């Protein structure tokens, strides 16, 4: 077995896998949202009472988020959008269907806000569906799972180091055995040559 198979490949495979996963995790948008508690507009309590809430959507990733879609099955009486930039393209149906806002793109560290006015109990996180071209948005207050990818990446690096240690140890042992065998052959062959010379 060549040195490439014994030493380089066991090291290269975990490193390439770890780098690919790390690059994949970094090279994508990370859209988060936060929804405020409802604020009643009147002191009366009932199904017809109106409340106001603030929904903020932010891209905390390193690449632009595209085709952001905010939907809710709960009826929204009225809403107002605060754009990240005046030039941003925003679409929202004007009919009486479910609430829906389409935000064309959001750069890294960019955010937009939607002031929502709804009736009754207001809107909770489960009533919202926020997606983008690369996946779903997550609650800003939920546990961040990014540490899993970091742990996996460094685990791959540790595994590569472990394979490197084993490969180098095995290679050194083979070199030592080769040198030892060569020395033994030299010890036994030299006297035989000398004896043959005396006999002659």
Q: Are 111 and 84 in contact (CB under 8 A)?
A: yes
pLDDT given at position 195: 47
Q: What are the start-end ranges of the H helices in the chain?
A: 3, 9-26, 146-199
Name the pTM for this structure.
0.61
* % of the chain at pLDDT higher than 70: 54
pLDDT given at position 150: 57
Residue-wise pLDDT for 46-97, tens only, equals 556 788 999 999 999 889 999 999 999 888 889 999 999 999 999 987 767 7
**Main-chain dihedrals φ then ψ at residue 68, nearest 5 degrees:** -80, 130
**Main-chain dihedrals φ then ψ at residue 41, nearest 5 degrees:** -90, -15
Residue-wise pLDDT for 98-127, tens only, equals 899 999 999 999 999 999 998 878 888 788
C-alpha dihedral sign at 34, 44, 94, 87: negative
């Amino acid at each position: 077995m060549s040195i490439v198979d014994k030493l380089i490949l066991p090291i290269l495979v975990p490193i390439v896998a770890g780098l690919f996963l790390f690059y994949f995790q970094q090279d994508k948008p990370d859209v988060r949202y936060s929804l405020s508690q409802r604020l009643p507009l009147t002191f009366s309590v009932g199904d017809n009472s109106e409340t106001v809430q603030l929904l903020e959507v932010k891209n905390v990733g390193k690449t632009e988020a595209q085709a952001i879609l905010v939907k809710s099955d709960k009826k929204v009486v009225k809403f107002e959008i605060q754009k990240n930039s005046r030039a941003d393209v925003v679409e929202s149906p004007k009919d009486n269907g479910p609430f829906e806002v389409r935000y064309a793109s959001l750069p890294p560290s960019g955010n937009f806000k939607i002031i929502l006015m709804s009736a009754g109990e207001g809107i909770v996180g489960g009533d919202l569906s926020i997606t983008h071209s690369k996946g779903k948005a997550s609650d800003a207050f939920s546990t961040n799972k990014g540490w899993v990818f970091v742990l996996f990446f460094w685990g791959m690096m540790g595994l590569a180091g472990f394979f490197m240690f084993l490969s180098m140890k095995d290679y050194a042992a083979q070199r030592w055995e080769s040198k030892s065998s060569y020395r033994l052959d030299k010890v036994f062959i030299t006297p035989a040559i000398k004896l043959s010379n005396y006999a002659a």
